[in-house]
Amino acid sequence: MLLKLTFASLYARLLTVSMTVFAISLSLMLYLSVEKLRTSAYTSFTDTISQTDLILGSRTSSIQLLLYSVFRVGNATNNITWESYEEIMNKDEVEWSVPISLGDSHKGFRVMGTNLDFFKRYKYRGGQLIEISEGNYFDDLYDVVIGAAVAEKLKYNIGKSIIVSHGIKSFTDHDDQPFKVSGILEKTGTPIDNTVIVSLEAIEAIHVDWSSGAKIPGQETPIEEIRNMDLSAKNITAAFIGVKSKLTIFKLQRWINEYPEEALTSILPGVALHELWRIIGIVENLLLGISIVVIFTTLIGMAAIIFSSLNERRREMAIWRAMGASPNIVIGILMLEAFIISFLSTLISSILLYILLNILQPWIDDTYGILINIELLSLKDLLIFILFIISAMLVSLIPAIRAYWFSINDGMTIKI
């Protein structure tokens, strides 16, 4: 009976009520989408590297090593000599390792030298391998495999001839030794998409006529001669390592970190990612703070709307009272109203969120490399909804008490 009455009353004010519901739904949707973005960004981050036990680099902080080796952000302070790398590679604990060499670029995209093991060993998103979508992995010295985003943004196809630039932002090109695109990788949603991958030997080859970071003037070794040279890498920037048993990982890590011949660092990627996220956590907390303020504003907004409608509804309440409703029933009706409005809002906000996510997901993935998984609301979201509904009912107590007061005092004829 009470429910029917409340619905009828809400229906009678359909326009104002639906506007209120819509406003609250939008705010809730804002909260949900911020929350979704927050968790998706974290997952995208942690999904970038998977099943690599240690990352080896020169002595540096763990976050910096992680950033330049995995996210291609920033630069290494030093390289590692091949001798040290080989010694570590031959340790009993090591099952596999993949060396990488960074430092050159192509049109703003980082060039990474590695060997074919990279494609077999580097995993992302819960153990997924990097697949090739077109062409083949590098076979020739001057073959290059490019990430999906490189191919898309520069509109490169298989067979395209490209020039690698020396350094990250420099005007000197290795134009005497052009490369040919041999393969394009599948999109991964990781920094691999923005990477140009060549062999370690190719990195050595393009630096044959270079000394101390500059090209030796007048010296140009013919390509045929370079092909016959010993191009095995003399140093690398970092290496990904897999261990035979997780139980030996800390022993190996300590051994590397205390390696006397060269100042090295080895990190557990998950540990460094966590440290990194602790710093980013500041931004995360800020976003969360904004979301909470949004919800709070919404609640106050709802109370204000119920409040402002009270005056025009004094007659309605007086009729309820005349029909025999006690003042407590009046409070009940208003709280029930708040419940219905907030409940409808949570439903609509969820629907709006899914529509929005479906529209924006490809764009966010392309632009920011953050893959948003469209899935059912989490338990936490549901809990927030329940809390929101309870708070909405509590907030509605303020206008409800006022209505109670009116209903005691007002007669059928209202004198304002």
Query: Which spans of this chain sit near other proteins (rule: CB under 8 A)?
Result: 41, 44-46, 50-51, 53, 59-61, 63-64, 67, 71, 73-74, 77-78, 245-247, 249-250, 258, 260-263, 268-272, 274-276, 279-280, 283, 368-370
DSSP codes of every residue in 146-180: E-HHHHHHHT--TT-EE-PBSSSS-S-B-TTS-EE
Instruction: Indicate the residue among 106 and 313 with the shorter CB distance to other proteins.
Output: 106
Task: Evaluate whether 309 touches 16 at the Cβ level (below 8 Å).
Answer: yes
In the numeric block, the tokens 């090593």 are attached to: 65
Q: How many CB atoms lie within 10 A of CB 156?
A: 19
How far apart are the C-alpha atoms of 183 and 132, rounded to whole Å? 7
322-329: list long-range contacts, CB under 8 Å, 24+ apart: 322/412, 327/404, 327/407, 327/408, 328/404, 329/2
Q: Which is nearer to other proteins, 1 or 247 (CB)?
A: 247
Q: How far is the CB of 171 from other proteins (least distance, A)?
A: 22
Least CB distance from residue 228 to other proteins, whole Å? Answer: 34
> Which residue, 64 or 396, is less far from other proteins as judged by CB?
64
Q: Tell me how far, at minimum, the Cβ of 222 lies from other proteins, in Å.
A: 37
Instruction: Give the CB-side neighbour count of residue 198, counting CA atoms within 13 A.
Output: 30
Q: How far is the CB of 350 from other proteins (least distance, A)?
A: 25
Closest approach of other proteins to the CB of residue 211, in Å: 23
Quick one: 106 or 207, whose CB is closer to other proteins?
106
> Least Å distance between CB 117 and other proteins?
20
Of 53 and 104, which has the nearer Cβ to other proteins? 53
Largest CA distance in the chain: 105
Q: Which is nearer to other proteins, 96 or 368 (CB)?
A: 368
Strands 80-81 and 109-114: unpaired
